Amino acid sequence: MSIMPNWGGAGVGRYKTRCPPGVCQVDPVPGTSKLEAELFNQLNYVLGDGVQHWNFFGRKVDMMFNIDSHGLIVEYDGAYWHRGRERSDREKAELLSEYRLTVIRVREDPLRPLRHEDLWVPKGADAILCARLVLLHAMHLLRWRMPQRAEGFLIAAAAPLDREQVPCRSCWSLARRYRRRGDAAI
Ligand SMILES: [Zn+2]
């Protein structure tokens, strides 16, 4: 049974890989990127209770996860489609934050983070790398709220993250703490 808190939003098309024209506000063209759909699947595998294309008072967000009754929003900003949209992307994140939702915008290089909570990912980063970076980032943003499974997912990796893949200093110090503990994969 879903324990999705009622924030006034309604999820549509959890398993859809494409959205109809005009549904996704941040994306001016119809369709959702394959990477965004894959990222949702990865994160939902670990976090569960996710909704893709969540509708929050008329604003569509790429994905939302219920983390211990706290809303974690993840928006994937591909470099091509989000170039020049900095102002509206930042305003949207700030609006959602006012409702105590944690918003992580995944910004593909050369896009730069717009807010402290944003996450820079290398150009062409695949869904698994994006998911690892989102989970690591969420672990210090949401701390004790994050399920142990997130840690397990990160530890399960065959190869550790490179320093240049992790520009967030808090993420990197968290990764180093795990490595000192013997979990070399993070
Ligand atoms: Zn971080």
Structural domains of the chain ordered from first start:
10-157 (3.40.960.10)
For a pLDDT cut of 70, what percent of the chain falls above it?
83
Question: Residue 167 Cα, ligand 1 centroid: separation in angstroms?
Answer: 8
Question: Residue 5 Cα, ligand 1 centroid: separation in angstroms?
Answer: 26
Q: What is the pLDDT of residue 31?
A: 56
The two tokens of residue 33 are: 């990127």
**Sequence-distant (≥ 6) Cβ neighbours of residue 52 within 8 angstroms:** 11, 13, 14, 15, 16, 32, 37, 40, 62, 63
Question: Residue 29 Cα, ligand 1 centroid: separation in angstroms?
Answer: 30
Q: What is the pLDDT of residue 30?
A: 46
Question: Residue 130 Cα, ligand 1 centroid: separation in angstroms?
Answer: 12
Q: What is the pLDDT of residue 111?
A: 95
Question: Residue 135 Cα, ligand 1 centroid: separation in angstroms?
Answer: 9
Question: Residue 161 Cα, ligand 1 centroid: separation in angstroms?
Answer: 13
Q: What is the pLDDT of residue 16?
A: 43
Q: What is the pLDDT of residue 9?
A: 46
- Parts of the chain with a pLDDT under 50: 1-3, 8-17, 19-30
Euclidean distance between CA atoms 51 and 82, whole angstroms: 22
Global pTM value:
0.82
Q: What value does the mean pLDDT of the chain take?
A: 85
Cα 100 to chain centroid, rounded: 16
Question: Residue 170 Cα, ligand 1 centroid: separation in angstroms?
Answer: 5
Q: What is the pLDDT of residue 128?
A: 96
The two tokens of residue 57 are: 């008072």
Query: Per residue in 88-113, is it b (16+ CB within 10 Å) or e — as a string?
Result: ebeebbeebeeeebbbbbbbbeebeb
Q: What is the pLDDT of residue 183?
A: 78
